[in-house]
Amino acid sequence: MRSAQLDLAALIGSRICHDLISPIGAINNGLELLEMAGGASAGPEIALIGESVGNASARIRFFRVAFGAAGNQMMGASEVHSILRDLYDGTRLSVDWQPDQPQPRARVQLAFLAMLCLESALPYGGQITVAQDDDRWRLSAAADKLKVDHALWDLLAPGCNRDGLQPAHVQFALLPIIAADMGRQVGYRATNNTVTVEF
């Protein structure tokens, strides 16, 4: 059963994402209205604003699942694919999301947190593969050149000291806590060209 503190933190994450997505959507709607009225050309400035709004919207949708309240909702594969496509389109990262059946949002949350961990090992780009075998999940990152900070990855172990954790690495602390709350343990292994997370 989820602790009250964990639920409260998730509700805060959901609230922040909810409050941010509305003004970002309004900016996008404003750009569309300007273009329809002929008040904005398709110049590089408008294209840059539109691209930035799209990137921000995709990040917030992803963060809402990763850091927000999971509840008992299910997420279809098409919704997950839409979030990941919008998030990684045009980047040096690609994602192969293999589960094709609807998944509990809480499981997708764990996968998204694990993906954030894997992103930290892929500063030069690469491929993330998400696979599910019955009730076990395996996420792998592959690249010609990885950057694995073992001090961060060791944070996935239960009961480790997380003092001094930087905000950019909060996923390494949150993933094992939420997984343990679901009765799961997170493990990882790294080689020269791959990092794998399992739960």
Q: Is the pLDDT of residue 40 over 70?
A: no
pLDDT digits (tens, 9 = 90+) for 62-72: 999 999 888 88
Q: Is the alpha carbon torsion for 118, 110, 162, 18 positive or negative?
A: positive
pLDDT digits (tens, 9 = 90+) for 94-144: 999 999 999 999 999 999 999 999 999 999 999 999 999 999 999 999 999
What average pLDDT does range 16-43 have in this prediction? Answer: 72
Q: Give the least confident one: 22-31, 104-113, 117-126, 177-186.
A: 22-31
CB 130 within 8 A of CB 97: yes
| pLDDT at res. 5 | 62
CB 66 within 8 A of CB 117: no
Q: Is the pLDDT of residue 1 over 50?
A: no
Phi, psi of 172 (to 5 degrees): -70, -30
Give the predicted TM-score (pTM) of the model: 0.85
| pLDDT at res. 25 | 75
The residue with greater pLDDT, 14 or 178, is 178
Residues 6+ apart with CB under 8 A from 50: 28, 31
Q: Give the least confident one: 29-33, 60-64, 195-199.
A: 29-33
